[in-house]
Amino acid sequence: MVNIIWLILLLSGIIVAGLNGNIEVVTESAFKAAQTGVQISLEIIGIMTLWLGLLKLAEKSGLVGLLSKLVRPIAVLLFPSIPKDSPALGSIIMNLSANILGLGNAATPFGLKAMSQLQELNPHKTVASDAMITFLALNTSCITLIPAMVISLRVQEGSANPVEIVGTTILATACGTVCAVSADIILRKKYRSRF
Amino acid sequence: MYVLTQISRWAIPVLLFIIPFYAYLKKVNVYEVFVEGAQEGITTAFKILPFLVGMLVAISVFRASGAMDYLIRFLAPATNFLGIPGEILPLAVMRPLSGSGALGITAELIHQFGPDSFIGRLASTMQGSTDTTFYVLTVYFGSVGIIKYRHAITVGLIADVSSFIASVIICRLYFGG
């Protein structure tokens, strides 16, 4: 899908330029964009370096564990089908906490662990269980507290207030999460009858 | 409004305080561990370089040729009705499909329109507020051999669309424009 979109953007751009009789803009904008890409990657190194150093500290100090204590009561509510003492619940909580802190590399192993533990509780091995779908709804909709990459881009482009989008991002994310969880609860019953 | 402003102002300083301080309480060698993690900054930047170049070239050619203007004019009745800038649509389509692809489009929008323009702020908010739904579903379900996703894709896309709409509304209310 990404391949198709990329191809359409590039080819339709070239065709339109050709039809409009200004084919030279293709060469010019392509070369300029390639240089901009390199420039952006290089200039975000500063903030990404600072941020990844900080995240390593969060990881090594076990901040994920601290956050997971706050997430637990919500998780118990959202996963009624998982026994409270199940290790699956622990893995889910660790995955979500790591995601919230922006620890992508630490989150994935917890996430895959959670999936295999949920699979043990799943009666139909090729069909997604309720808990799995709720977990992935949370995983894909509730993410990172601090969008470090976006902030670096804004700094690099000379924003007067690069962090001003932190509040709007958190609020928009919260809306998405609430909608995802509500949709899951409604659709769950409808899809149950199908298998 | 006030709360959002204060969250944005305080988020980074608070984390810069709490994380090293908590690590120190947990007897982590704070500076050494920081430097160890910081080394990944360079690899991360170089890792995204080819994605950025690829996506920036495609979208720049699409924009410079005038094809983007045609698309925006074609979609104008719908986007005007919803109050969405047409320029943002390629990002909305790419976001659930590819994280690095979406990052490329966000970078181009910020570069083209400026980080403090309405489109720049909206793109920044959208990029941070959802995840790559299709990638996550494929990897996670694939890892345990699930074939029937049931309503997972619908739920994921509802999350994406609602964060997208929420981003537009919140940015309009908060930043104006």
B41 falls within a domain? no
For residues A38-60, give the mean pLDDT.
Answer: 90
What pLDDT is recorded for position B98? 87
Flag whether B23 is in a domain.
no
Out of B67, B114, B158, the one facing A12 most closely (by C-beta) is: B67
CA A29 to chain centre: 31
Cβ–Cβ below 8 Å for B97 and A5: yes
CB pairs < 8 Å spanning A and B = 363
Give yes or no for A32 touching B (CB within 8 A): yes
User: Looking at the predicted structure, is the pLDDT value of residue A194 above 70?
Assistant: no
* Owning domain of residue B101: 48-175
- Asked whether the beta carbons of A157 and B163 are under 8 A apart, the reply is no
Q: Is B136 within the bounds of a domain?
A: yes
Ranking A28-32, A69-73, A110-114, A175-179 by mean pLDDT, the lowest is A69-73
SS (H, E, C) A149-176: HHHHHHHHCCCCCHHHHHHHHHHHHHHH
Is there a domain that residue B107 lies in?
yes
* Inside any domain, residue B56: yes
The average confidence (pLDDT) of chain B is 92
Q: State residue B99's pLDDT score.
A: 85
| Closest chain A residue by Cα to residue B174 | A168
| Number of residues that this document lists for chain A | 195
Place of tokens 């969405």: B84
When pLDDT is averaged across residues A114-135 and rounded to a whole number, the result is: 95
Q: How many domains does the structure of chain B reveal?
A: 1
The interface residues of chain A toward chain B in range 48-67, judged by CB-CB distance below 8 A, are 48-63, 66
Average pLDDT on A33-58 reads 91
Flag whether pLDDT at A195 surpasses 70: no
Tell me: pLDDT of B143 over 90. Answer: yes
Is residue B101 a part of any domain in this protein? yes
Give the residue among B99, B6, B74, B176 at the shortest CA–CA distance from A143: B99
Token readout for A105 is 């590399």
**From the list A46, A171, A180, which residue is nearest B170 (CB)?**
A171
Residue A9's pLDDT band, with cuts at 50, 70 and 90, is very high
Min Cα distance B122 → chain A (Å) is 8
The pLDDT value given to residue A164: 95
Asked whether residue A134 carries a pLDDT value surpassing 60, the answer given is yes
User: Would B161 be classed as within a structural domain?
Assistant: yes
User: Can you tell me the distance from the alpha carbon of B82 to that of B166, in angstroms, rounded to the nearest whole number?
Assistant: 12
Query: Would residue B19 count as lying in a domain?
Result: no
Residue of B nearest to A134 (CA): B152
> Quick one: pLDDT at residue A143?
67
H-assigned helices in chain A = 2-19, 24-43, 45-61, 63-78, 87-101, 104-121, 130-141, 148-156, 165-192
pLDDT of residue A193: 56
Lowest mean pLDDT among A139-143, B116-120, B124-128, B166-170: A139-143
